[in-house]
Amino acid sequence: MKRVLITGAAGFLGSHLCDYFLAKGYHVIAMDNLITGDLKNIEHLMPEEHFEFYHHDVSKYVHVPGELDYILHFASPASPIDYLKIPIQTLKVGSLGIHNCLGLARQKGARVLIASTSEVYGDPMVHPQTESYWGNVNPVGPRGVYDEAKRFQEAITMAYHTFHGVETRIARIFNTYGPRMRLNDGRVLPAFIGQALRGEDLTVFGDGSQTRSFCYVADLVEGLYRLLMSDYAEPVNIGNPDEITIAEFAEEIIKLTNTTQKVVYRDLPVDDPKQRQPDITRAREILGWEPKVSRAEGLKITYEYFKSLTSEELYKSEHKSFDKYNKA
Ligand code: UDP
């Protein structure tokens, strides 16, 4: 039985990866420090014989007994609100955290896949974004802690590959959505659906002309698995090229939720990328992968999930208290 370590396992993507690998017959070792992750996302897996949970911060020394075949590094805050609240942890998990994973991989002879991001392209000057584009990132802006950590993460991963011969895979993940997104992390989809469910107006930042391209989580996980199983060590964009403006997206959510609320406009956050769309030619050619779930289908499933939350969860607009964690 193959053994896989998944960091950030109680988060949105991590928890879907746990489900996927267990269903495929792997032994899953799930790790999370629960700063932004939530045990609720993986509690259904706790009784599984081949599921273990380590409550541990991957930025600290990582010890995993036994053999390991694969390491998936998915621990990281992943929304602009989180980076602002916990900037130091964001930098540490993308640097010290991956360093620990790569050291562990070397010791165990494991293959590593890292969750990189379209944020490495910053506010892109090339559209759609191909993997050969180097990006337009402001290192000292509010997103810098995330963007630069992820860029460093790619650099150290490539260095372990070329210098130590560790088998590595780099996924550049574009905006992804689905059940288990955190309602209050500030991301646009949970923000809009949460507002619709609470009977609030939908807050579009800027004039809403900025674009994003949203990938349903099941498609993303399949792409990640194919990348892990490939022999390709260069970065690969994984995302859905179906691009939409945020203003149009708000209208879609209004229709989906049947809300009578309207759109209100707020200031555009600093360094908010104006357009984002993955060029997935590489994923198509090398992995034989492309997304299958339309936004209409994916949004319906996601809306059902948010509707199933309790009103306490729906109205809990405050973040968990990060104060006790937010020490460098
Ligand atoms: N956004 C918005 N209203 C919100 C939250 C976000 O208009 O309540 C915008 C945000 O400014 C950005 C887009 O939606 O242009 C996507 O934001 P998100 O934080 O989900 O992801 P990212 O900017 O990292 O792609």
Q: 188 CB less than 6 Å from ligand 1?
A: yes
CA dist., res. 242 & res. 45, Å (int): 33
What pLDDT is recorded for position 84?
A: 87
Ligand 1 centroid vs 183 CA: distance in angstroms?
13
- Alpha helices, DSSP H only, in 41-143? 80-85, 87-92, 98-108
Q: Which residues are catalytic?
A: 146
Q: 295 CB less than 6 Å from ligand 1?
A: no
Query: What pTM does this model have?
Result: 0.95
Q: What residues are paired with 203 via a beta bridge?
A: 264
Ligand 1 centroid vs 193 CA: distance in angstroms?
13
CATH superfamily to which 3-325 belongs: NAD(P)-binding Rossmann-like Domain (3.40.50.720)
**For the chain, domain boundaries:** 3-325
Q: What does 117-166 look like in DSSP terms, one character per residue?
A: EGGGGBS-SSSSBPTT---B--TTSTTHHHHHHHHHHHHHHHHHHHHH--
Ligand 1 centroid vs 275 CA: distance in angstroms?
11
Which distant-in-sequence residues (6+ apart) come within 8 Å of 140 by Cβ?
none
Radius of gyration of the chain (CA): 19
pLDDT in tens, the chain (328 residues): 999 999 999 999 999 999 999 999 999 999 999 999 999 999 999 999 999 999 999 999 999 999 999 999 999 999 989 988 999 999 999 999 999 999 999 999 999 999 999 999 999 999 999 999 999 999 999 999 999 999 999 999 999 999 999 999 999 999 999 999 999 899 999 999 999 999 999 999 999 999 999 999 999 999 999 999 999 999 999 999 999 999 999 999 999 999 999 999 999 999 999 999 999 999 999 999 999 999 999 999 999 999 999 998 998 865 443 443 334 3
Which of helix, strand or coil describes residue 43? helix
Q: Locate 109 and state its tokens.
A: 């002879």
Q: 200 CB less than 6 Å from ligand 1?
A: no
The protein residue whose alpha carbon is closest to atom 1 in ligand 1 is 188
Q: 80 CB less than 6 Å from ligand 1?
A: yes
For ligand 1, mutation pick of 79, 195, 212 (most atoms within 8 Å of CB): 212
Q: 124 CB less than 6 Å from ligand 1?
A: no
CA dist., res. 301 & res. 111, Å (int): 33
Q: 171 CB less than 6 Å from ligand 1?
A: no
What pLDDT is recorded for position 318?
A: 52
For ligand 1, mutation pick of 173, 185, 188, 210 (most atoms within 8 Å of CB): 188
